[in-house]
Structure 1
Amino acid sequence: MPNDTPHDEAPEKIQEPRLWTGDGWTAQVIKNEDDDGWAVAMLKDGEPEPALVGPWTMGRDKKNPKPLDGNAFSTLVKTANEFVRRHEQQLHASLHQSISVAAAAGSITVRLDIVPDEDNPSATLSAEDAGGDTLAEVRVAPSFKLNRSTALAWIDAGFAKPR
């Protein structure tokens, strides 16, 4: 006996002039509130806000938007996926920073790993020698700025917790 619950069904594709769905995305052509033109919003399935909103071409009548089609939707999905991927890479880079510095003990890599929890954000500052052995690890404020000067100051202070 087949299970008729909605979560077991494949999502129905919509292919309308101003609304297309598929490949985990919804494209919706909307009125641009800033001027007389149109925009397209790309919403990833399950997300409450659009991942990307961009200008959309006017139709031949210069009043209404150009209708969505398969090629346009494919291009929009590719662009939105790339945009999301770049955003995720930037976020990862900002939360997991590292710098290598030359110290008296040799080359030391200092890392700052931030956990962006809404209620209790935290960060860990750690140091490794050239062989990958951990030299020190301390909790710091998530607002700690890691750069060459703060890394060297921490090393020179004997890895004491920065203030």
Structure 2
Amino acid sequence: MTSVLKLLLVAAIVTLVSSPALAGTITGQASVVDGDTLEVHGQRIRLSGVDAPESDQLCRGDDSLQYRCGAKAANELARFIAGKTVICKGVDIDRYKRVVAVCSVGEQDIGERIVRAGFAFDWPRYSKGKYAGAQKEAERAGRGVWAGSYVVPWDYRACRWGGGRPSRCSDEARLD
């Protein structure tokens, strides 16, 4: 083997071994970054298969008044994990260099819990329907965002990236 090939092989092995997603499990006390992102030991972790409203996103409650549903999602997640040990099993790295992981507290999948509470959505593009049942339950019960109206986070982000303001992008009627 040539020295260049050996060097490339060593670099590839080092990259694989040092990859947080392939490092296995990240365990510890977590802080909440937003409704679908945690931080454990300084490592950002994106919950796999779910998408919560963005921090500046607004939804309408059953009273038709706007509220900060992104902040509410983060607060709900913080309440659930408060002071508990979080166990995250990495499955990928996203384009923002965050570990994408399935995380749990005890036996409870955090992604499922936040979707069942109505503050995040099953993201079929990545979940392959893993949280669809939890989402249907939240919708039937009118929990969280299901109590009023909302824009799914992926459409909200697309509107914001297109130059829209948070209030405009948060309201379905104004997305046209």
Q: Same fold (TM over 0.5)?
A: no
Q: TM-score range by the shorter chain?
A: under 0.3
- TM-score scaled by structure 1? 0.28
Q: Which has the larger radius of gyration?
A: 1
Structure with a larger share of its residues in helix: 2
Structure with a larger share of its residues in strand: 1
